[in-house]
Every structure is written in C-alpha cells, then in structure tokens.
Structure 1
Amino acid sequence: MEGFMRAFVAGIIWLTCCFIVAPSWANSIQLTSKGNPGCLSAAEEAASDFPPPPADTGPSALPPNPDLAPPSPDVIRSAIEAGFVRIPRKGSWFRSYSAAKPARVFDTPSSKGLELGRIEPRSRLPLAGYAAVKGSGCREGWLRLGLSAWVCLSAFAPDKELPALDLLPLIPENSLLPGQYAYVRLGGAPWYPSREAAKQKKPGGTHPAGFYLQFKRFVKIDGINYWKTDKNQYVPIDQIARHIPSTFSGVPVDASRRLPLAFPVRKGKNRENVPIPVYDRPGGSVIGQAAPRAPLSILGEKKVGRSTFYRVEACRWIAERDVAAAFSTVVPAGVRKGEKWLDINLSRQTLVAYVENRPVYATAISSGKEGYQTKSGIFRIYWKVTETDMKNEVGADEQYLASSVPWSMFFWKGQALHGAYWHDDFGIPKSHGCVNLAPLDARYLFEWASPSIPVGAAYVWSGENRPGIVVQIRNADDDSPMVFGYARSFVPADRMQAMDQAWEKKLAAQSLEALAAFEKEKNETTGEMKSPASTAPSTAPSTVRARRDVPASKKVPATMKNAGR
C-alpha cells in the first residue's frame, strides 16, 4: 500500500511538472502565408468532422474484479497489530534496518512462499512489523512490508539513519533519469577492469561503437580522464560522447483535451525534430506550420486521393503522414472493472492509457523497426524492473548494448515497455522489438501501472494471483489481437474459446495464402528454367538472347539466385 501511495504522489508531482515544461499547444500553429487561403466552406468542414463521442454510460459489461474487494477484517487487524511489533534487538541507537545484500520478498513469511520481488542493498526499512515464524527458513524473523509482502531479516543490519521512503531508481534533483549516459564513438572504446589495469594498458575488452554506458564517477589515472561506469569499468573519456536525453512527454486526456490527438513528427536533414506543414484545405496550399510533437486535437478527416488529412482548426489541416495520431478503441478481452490498461497502435506509433473505458493519457512511442517487429497481442505485464541492461541475443546480426535501462515492464519474453535515453525519435519505429518510451513517459507509466513496486525494491513479479496491467498491442486500427500468456486466465472461458477458434481460422487462411504464393512462385520459376532452345528442333535458331560470354542453355534465371535460402 505504501508503494502504491508513493507511486500515486509521484505521478501527481510528475503531471504538475509536465504542465510546467510542456509546450503551449495553443500557440503550436504559426501562420506563414500572407495570401488568401482557399479554405473549405463551414458546411464542407463540418461534413468531415467526427461525430460527438457517445455519453459515458460506464463499463457495465466488464467482468467483476475480486482484487477490488477490501481485505478481510482479520487481515487488516493482523497488519495493524504487526505495525506495533518492534524487532527484538538490544539497544536504541538504530532507527532502521539496512539491506546488506539483495533480499527476496515473499507473499508469506516463508522462504517457500511465492517470490514477489527483491529489495536492493542499502535500502533502509522501518523497524516495525516483525514476526517470528518457526520452520519458515528464516531464523532472524520476518519483516512485514505490506498486507502480503514479507522479507527475511537475515540480509539486514541495524542502521542509525531513518528509513528511506524513495522509490527506485533514485533520481537526482532536477534530472530526468537516474544517471548520465554516453555512447561509444566510432572505432570502439577499450574498457579496463581496474585502475591497475588502466595504468598497465591491459584492457578487459572493447565496447563496439554505438554501445551506451552509464556514468558512475570521473577518474584520472596517469593524466588520462576515465569514466568509471556503473559496471565498475574504466573507459577513456575521449572515446565516448555524453548523450542528452529527450524531454518529450505525452499529455493527460480529459474533458478539456479529448481523443483523437495528433503528435507532429517530422525529421530534418540532421535527424532533428522540425515543424510540419499546415494546409488551408486537404491537399491545398501550405499556410503555416505546427510545432514538432506539440499535441493537436483532431476534429475530422478527409481523403484526397491516397492521402488522408486531419482538420485541427477552422481552415487548418495537417497530413496523416506527418503525425503520430492517437485514437480511442474498445476495451480488450480480460480487462476487469476498475482496472487500468494500455493500448499501443504500431501503425500509428502511439500509446493511450485507460482506466476501464476512459482514456487518461496519450503519447508517441517507438516500436520495433523493420526486421525487429514488436509482437502484437493482448498481454499482462509479468515483470517490472527499475533498471536492467538491454543487449542483443547471442548470434544476432546486429550488436547493441544499453546499460541500466530505466523503468522496464516486460510483457512478452524479452520485449518490454521501457525508457529510452538514447534517442529522440518517438513517433517513428526505432527499437529492436521493445516499446521505447521517452523518459518522462516511462517513469510516469511505470509508477502508474500495476502492480505497484514497494519502496526499496529493484523489481516485482506479476502473475495470476497478483496480476500486472493489461497491454494491448495492435498492428493497425482494425486489428483484433490474440490473448497470450497468463492474461488468458482473466478472459471468460466462452469468449476465450471463441477467440481461439477465430484465431485458428485466421492462421489457416494465412497458411493457405502463403502456400498459394509459394506455388505461384514455384511455377513461375519452373517456367523460367525451361529453355526455349531445348524444345525447338536442333536446326532451328535459338530465340534466347544471351550474353556473349554465357551460353543460353546455362543462363541462371534471376529468380533462382536466392533459392533454398
């Protein structure tokens, strides 16, 4: 509960900061044309507008949520009584218990219980909530962290400092991220495992160009400046370059700012974010520009040829190709009453956060680039971790490393939503399969999403008995994704059966299409392999025009060059 309250307060503070630093989107459109715009008539513009949203009648069809039921009186009484039980230790000089090593958190006071997460070293916990349980695998006794969260005191020692109430990772004052980061320059950078190794110029290895490292402190060895990284490696400063993280963030969605919203996304010659053009009518003349990624309310849309344009004001239109547009959608399967969930649209590169059927936040994201597609589907977060390294799999074609990536929420195998400090291309596919979030968005969503992470915890696990937030990832607007993982346990049996049958039919149809395409290509290839000269009389001239240095009968068709791959 304490972790939840701190996450809630942190979210309120973060939102307040967003209103301070976010650009004023009342002034995000600037007119540049001095001529007379060729606007559509008011009637023509009104005909293109979206209908007003239906009245919110509430999510009456959502299944019940037993997690919303209040704890039993016995559980509440036990937790209150535990709060008055101090750790039986002589002396009064200490005011907290500090973790000397990582300590696992369990759902019951037993080492055989379900592991929920891990407390990081140097985390200081209050002295109250002690319980001694025989045969539990912890002789020192247990410390209660919540209604159903316990940690063994064998990993803790008395500390004179007051308990720490900060959520991890710790963020320095006036900073967006837990630390400073740098990328390795072209040519790579050697790293040394110790000061002595740096003195003797005996590297432990080389970081390839493009790897990202986290700063710990500056060190000077024999007149050379080094970065000491969070992995205690010494890297020469002249072979790395510090990276400045993105300050972009999404916006709250409420009665004053409704969906759909458009985030202008366009890159300049040097990959900088630049304004997008504003037109007087769909496909008309450019009369102004809209500030990059400053959100605009979409009032309507109109197609001209193959292009779609959105109306954002009277006589103000923007092209669909220039924005990441966030639209509302229906509640996915498995969401219960009172639950939060996330909708990610890969074709539009947007994320919308919901509480039940009500959108509350929208932003632009970066999903997997070509060859590294983000998996579509309906998932539930199974692991939330405050910081973790992101690197390529063994044998991958492309090597990469991003050290200490903050605020990660894993939904499918190695794919996660997480903060991305290494680029500012949100609204454009960029990742190796994960969903990249700007640092401000990543922190807010991490602390907002369930399950809440306790004070001092490095990570928490989720499962059927402690479910994580629902994440729906769609390939496009009309995509109806399948349910995967333990999220299937929360879908009513009859609906899950119907979805399975529809999914099997879809896969069967895709298989038939793939087989038909293969047969067609095989027949075309076989036809090209038949030489006209072999079927004509030997005395007839060949009709095949071949290169002078290659006999016609031995010419290899272009379609066979990749055969068998």
Structure 2
Amino acid sequence: MRTALGIWVLAALSAACSAKSDAAEDQAAPALASTTEATGTSASSSSEASATATERADAPLAAPGDAIVDLAGEYHAPPPPPADSPKVYARAMLVPIHDKPNQDAKKIGFLRAGAVVAITGEEAGKSGCSGGWRPVAPAGFVCIGDKATLEASDDIVRAVRPPDLSQKLPYMYGTVTRGGPAYARIPTKEDLDEFEPGLDKHIRKWKDDEVSGASYGQELWYKWSTPSSQSAWDAWEQKVTDTTIPWYLKDGHRVPNLSGLVKGDVVKIDQVDRRQGAAFIDSFLWEGRRYNVTTDLRVVPADRYRPIKGSDMHGVRIGVDVEFPFALIRKKGAKQWIWGASKKKMTEGEDIPYRSALQLTGKQKIYKDILHYETKDGYWVDDRHASRLDPAKRMPKWGKNGEKWLDVNITKQTLVAFEGEKAVFATLVSTGEDGLLEGARTTRKGIFRIHTKYVTQTMDSDAVGEEFELRDVPYVQYFEEGFALHGAYWHDSFGTPKSHGCINLAPEDARRLFHWTEPHVPAGWHGAAKSLTGTVLFVHP
C-alpha cells in the first residue's frame, strides 16, 4: 500500500539548502569571508585566480593523512584523548570553537553534546566567559559554561551518544508517517490516555501498514543493541519490556534537558508531524511499545516513524575499481545492445545492473538518433541510461598546483574527485531538479571552495505548502551561502536531478567525501570552518 511518504518526500527535497537555527546555537553556516563568486562555468574564468594555492595562508586543522574514513570507505578509529589530560565536555547541540579566547573571535569549528576533547594548555582568560576559555586539541578555544563543562559526570554528557562514523549513517533515522507527541519521560498509561487518545486505532494501522508499519525495517532500531528474533507485533501483544532501558529514563525520571523543552513536570514536550525526519541514539521496548530517543533527548514512539535504511549506493575508485573511460548506469532499465555489423542493426540483449560501472573502449556510435558507448565486454550501452566519464581534457590551475578538487557535471549527474591531476573517485549525484534551467531549484554553477562542514545539521523550510524539518542531515559541506553537498537519507534517486539546489549524495558517498575534503574535521569535532583553504568545487553543465 502507498502511504503519504511520497508526498512528504517531495517536500523534503527542499532540504536541499535551508539550515535550521537551533534554539541553543545558530547552525547555519557562519558568516565567513566570501567564497569565490560563481561568475561562469569555464575553468579559465577570473574566479580561478581566487581558487589557487596562493590563498593557503592558514595551516589546515588536520593533515590529510589523518582522515578518519578513506575513499574505500574504511574507517580508521582515531585515538581517544589522552587519559591523563584534562578535557572539555560538550553539553549543547552546537558548541562553537573560536580561534581566539573571545566570543567575537572567528569560529573555526564546533562540538556537539557528548563530545570529549583534550585541553592543551592553561586557562586563557575569562573575556566574555565566566567559566574561562580553554585551549582544545588540535586548535582553538572553548568557553566553559552552559554549553561546555569540565565535568564528565554531567547528565547531558553521560546521556548522549556520539555519531557513528564507521557506518554510512551516523545515527538511526526515521521519517514521520503518523504524527504524535514527544515526551520528557516514558509515558504512563494515564499519559497515553491523555496525549494519544486514539492509540488503539493508531496501533492497528501500524500493524497493517506494510510500507512503514510493524513489519517494516524494525531491525534498524537495533543499531546499538542486540537484535531480537521476536517481531514488533509479538512484542506489542506480549507487552515486552527490555532489560536495558537508558539509565536516565529509569524509575520515571525525565531526560536531561538538552532540547531546552523539558520544563517542570510537563510530560508532553513537543509534537512530531509528517514531513519531519529525525535521528535517534537509543531505542527500547517498554510494555510492548518501542520508544526512540532523539539526538536532542526527546522520547518518541517509534511506531510513528518509518525506519530509514538509506541508499546502499556508493561510488568507485578510479585506478582501483575502474579506469577511464567508463560509464555509470544512472537510470533503471539499461540494456545490453549487440551491434550486428552485417545488418547494421542494434539487437537488445540482457539487462545491465542499475548503478553498475562499465569499462568502455572509447568507441561510440549513434543508432536511431541515440548515442551508444561500446563496452570492453563487447556490447553497447545507450546514453539515456549511462553517463560516460573520461579524463579531463584540460587540467585547471588548482589541479596543476596539486590541490584536491571536485568536478560536478550537472548534465551527467556525476561527481569526480581529483588529487591534483589524478582522478581518484567518481559517483552519481542529484543536483537541482530544474537541471540546467535558471530557476529557484537550480544548483549554482561556478568555481567555489568548501568553507564549512558539519557531521550532521538540521535543515528545514517554512515556505507555505512546503514546510518540512529534516534533523541531522548527514555530512553537510557548504560551498556557497545556502548551497551544500550533503548526504540524503530520504531518497534513492541519485543520478537524477532531485534537489532544490544542493548537491545530494548517497549517504556512503557523503561519508567518504566528507572525510576526504578540506577543511578537515578533527576527531571529536562536529564541524569545521575555513573560508579560503577548503577543497575546490567546480560545478558546470
């Protein structure tokens, strides 16, 4: 059966590019020195001058060799802060790191609640910060106060869980299919009668919904716990309660007030609605019903969400998995075409797997007004389903200077990553759904530098008729005001224009590229910002 999810996704596509202002800290990309203006699409444009290595006045936050994830997707766990060093513990959703011990100083990075970073020196004064400024690894200063503490025993610090950078999605995710309350604690029967009076009817619908109900994706709620062989419906009927309830919810206790919504004895602290997505750090059964805990510590019924697996797609390493020229199958329904030289006719052959990478000979042929590429396996593939990738015909200045850079082709819906003049990675993307037309849903073309990155960031819209809120969009990389590369957990249409302007990546591709590009995000940080030394992004038709 079809649910309203499809309608929700259409609205969610606008997640393209609108960052939500968090109650505790503005999560939009900070005001930095302006990046390169998009004045054209030619690599020889005047924009090129500002994208050269001569701008590199600042040292990077971390050396490229320190990447936590490589382009093969391998995770390299960073060492924890030294056990004998004093530490700063983040206790807000976004904690700024300044380049100097002053609230007006430039922000060079961000921590998220639960982050632990080593202190690297003595207190650096109290200017605008009653708790004092502490220098942290590997750079910058954090103000000790409401947002950061020196105490590992702080309830917020203990309750939250850091993002899992070893997997394609850093948290468990879900999209709301059936609106309902968010709680400050596990609700009692009396609470459920008051705040969810139609619960029995709701549960029956949840049971029968094959797309987002009791039989769909429940295994995804076990990311940080031992999976159960018992079905979600059996657990409901048998009123099962897990033995491992989060410590902060035991004995009727309330969540620590990370969200800022927990006030007095109020039980219902928020309302979740369709067109919302959320990330979760805990999931458990209580009296047969599953509850999830959001990243900002709200307790929500899991039966009001569709679990999100995220696309399994990922790109290929050039020089390892494939060599130029090659093609990426971007649309379903691709066929092998056999050329009969005697009859000068193409004959349809077997199916070609969706999103596969095909080695090409370099030969191409037009048959019935359709361009076909010859594969090294002897058959042909048409360009309606495949994007052909070749070596760069002309190397831009930043490539010759040895910089990392990204090439995004809107027509082909592809991204190629370069290390200097060497192409190292390629994948499919989803750019603005207006394609090459100039409109509100067009991806900005030109030459840019990535200037601000977040492991996750909330994106939303309050446009009438297109309201939505997607929390913890993964691996966000801003290259222009309101425009970013980021992972998209809510669709699997990569290779097709889909966004409202941002460059959507499959979650795994977003993870790999996030840790490959500059500015590097140091271990334990949630984000980093540098306006003049980020990786070059060239977006063109």
Give me the TM-score of the superposition, normalised by structure 1.
0.60
Matches within 5 A, 1:283-362: 284-300=346-362, 301-313=364-376, 315-329=378-392, 330-332=394-396, 337-362=401-426
Cα 1:233–1:130, aligned 2, differ >3 Å: closer, same or farther?
A: closer
1:244 and 2:320 are equivalent in the alignment: no
Cα 1:425–1:200, aligned 2, differ >3 Å: closer, same or farther?
A: same
Cα 1:336–1:6, aligned 2, differ >3 Å: closer, same or farther?
A: closer
CA positional deviation for 1:208: 4.5
* Aligned amino acid, residue 446 of structure 2: G
Q: Which has the higher helix share?
A: 1
* Aligned amino acid, residue 279 of structure 1: W
Q: Is the 8 A contact 2:70 2:516 kept in 1?
A: no
Distance (whole Å) between structure 1 residues aligned to residue 490 and residue 337 of structure 2: 33
Cα 1:385–1:305, aligned 2, differ >3 Å: closer, same or farther?
A: same
Q: Which secondary structure state, in structure 1, belongs to the residue aligned with residue 69 of structure 2?
A: helix
* Aligned amino acid, residue 200 of structure 1: E
Larger C-alpha radius of gyration, 1 or 2?
Answer: 1
* Aligned amino acid, residue 431 of structure 2: S
CA positional deviation for 1:434: 1.5
Distance (whole Å) between structure 1 residues aligned to residue 125 and residue 275 of structure 2: 51
Q: Which secondary structure state, in structure 2, belongs to the residue aligned with residue 402 of structure 1?
A: strand
Match of 2:432 in 1: 368
Matches within 5 A, 1:105-184: 105-130=97-122, 132=124, 140-146=132-138, 149-152=140-143, 155-159=148-152, 170-171=163-164, 175-184=167-176
- Spell out, residue by residue over 1:417-465, the C-alpha distance to the aligned partner (whole angstroms, 9 max, x if none): 111122222112222222111111111110110011122222222213x
1:468 and 2:525 are equivalent in the alignment: no
- Spell out, residue by residue over 1:19-59, the C-alpha distance to the aligned partner (whole angstroms, 9 max, x if none): xxxxxxxxxxxxxxxxxxxxxxxxxxxxxxxxxxxxxxxxx
Distance (whole Å) between structure 1 residues aligned to residue 293 and residue 140 of structure 2: 36
Distance (whole Å) between structure 2 residues aligned to residue 357 and residue 462 of structure 1: 24
Q: 2:511 aligns with which of 431, 443, 448?
A: 443
- Spell out, residue by residue over 1:273-311, the C-alpha distance to the aligned partner (whole angstroms, 9 max, x if none): x6x211112960123332221211222222224211111
Q: Is the 8 A contact 1:95 1:159 kept in 2?
A: no
- Spell out, residue by residue over 1:238-273, the C-alpha distance to the aligned partner (whole angstroms, 9 max, x if none): 333212211211111127732332121333xxxxxx
CA positional deviation for 1:375: 1.8
Match of 1:459 in 2: 527
Higher mean alpha-carbon deviation, 195-204 vs 290-299, is at 195-204
Q: Is the 8 A contact 1:99 1:120 kept in 2?
A: yes
Q: Which secondary structure state, in structure 2, belongs to the residue aligned with residue 443 of structure 1?
A: helix
- Spell out, residue by residue over 1:460-486, the C-alpha distance to the aligned partner (whole angstroms, 9 max, x if none): 22213xx221111112xxxxxxxxxxx
- Spell out, residue by residue over 1:183-219, the C-alpha distance to the aligned partner (whole angstroms, 9 max, x if none): 233xx41233434565521777764545322234346
- Spell out, residue by residue over 1:514-534, the C-alpha distance to the aligned partner (whole angstroms, 9 max, x if none): xxxxxxxxxxxxxxxxxxxxx
Distance (whole Å) between structure 1 residues aligned to residue 133 and residue 296 of structure 2: 33
Cα 1:368–1:158, aligned 2, differ >3 Å: closer, same or farther?
A: same
Cα 1:251–1:99, aligned 2, differ >3 Å: closer, same or farther?
A: same
Cα 1:7–1:435, aligned 2, differ >3 Å: closer, same or farther?
A: farther
Cα 1:399–1:100, aligned 2, differ >3 Å: closer, same or farther?
A: closer
Q: Is the 8 A contact 2:457 2:474 kept in 1?
A: yes
Distance (whole Å) between structure 1 residues aligned to residue 472 and residue 375 of structure 2: 40
CA positional deviation for 1:112: 4.1
Higher mean alpha-carbon deviation, 249-258 vs 228-237, is at 228-237
Q: Is the 8 A contact 2:85 2:119 kept in 1?
A: no
CA positional deviation for 1:169: 5.8
Q: Which secondary structure state, in structure 2, belongs to the residue aligned with residue 142 of structure 1?
A: strand
* Aligned amino acid, residue 459 of structure 2: M
* Aligned amino acid, residue 258 of structure 1: E
Distance (whole Å) between structure 1 residues aligned to residue 537 and residue 60 of structure 2: 25
Higher mean alpha-carbon deviation, 1-10 vs 360-369, is at 1-10
Distance (whole Å) between structure 2 residues aligned to residue 226 and residue 255 of structure 1: 44
Q: Is the 8 A contact 2:399 2:421 kept in 1?
A: no
Q: Which secondary structure state, in structure 1, belongs to the residue aligned with residue 457 of structure 2?
A: strand
Matches within 5 A, 1:367-516: 367-370=431-434, 372-392=441-461, 394-464=462-532, 467-475=533-541
Distance (whole Å) between structure 1 residues aligned to residue 485 and residue 390 of structure 2: 20
CA positional deviation for 1:312: 1.1
Q: Is the 8 A contact 1:131 1:144 kept in 2?
A: no
Q: CA RMSD in A?
A: 3.6
Q: Is the 8 A contact 2:414 2:426 kept in 1?
A: yes
Q: Is the 8 A contact 2:70 2:512 kept in 1?
A: no
Match of 1:194 in 2: 184
Unaligned runs of 5+ in 1: 18-85, 87-91, 268-273, 476-565
Cα 1:304–1:461, aligned 2, differ >3 Å: closer, same or farther?
A: same
Match of 1:82 in 2: none
Q: Which secondary structure state, in structure 2, belongs to the residue aligned with residue 200 of structure 1?
A: helix
Q: With CA pairs under 8 Å and 6+ residues apart, which has the higher RCO, 1 or 2? A: 2
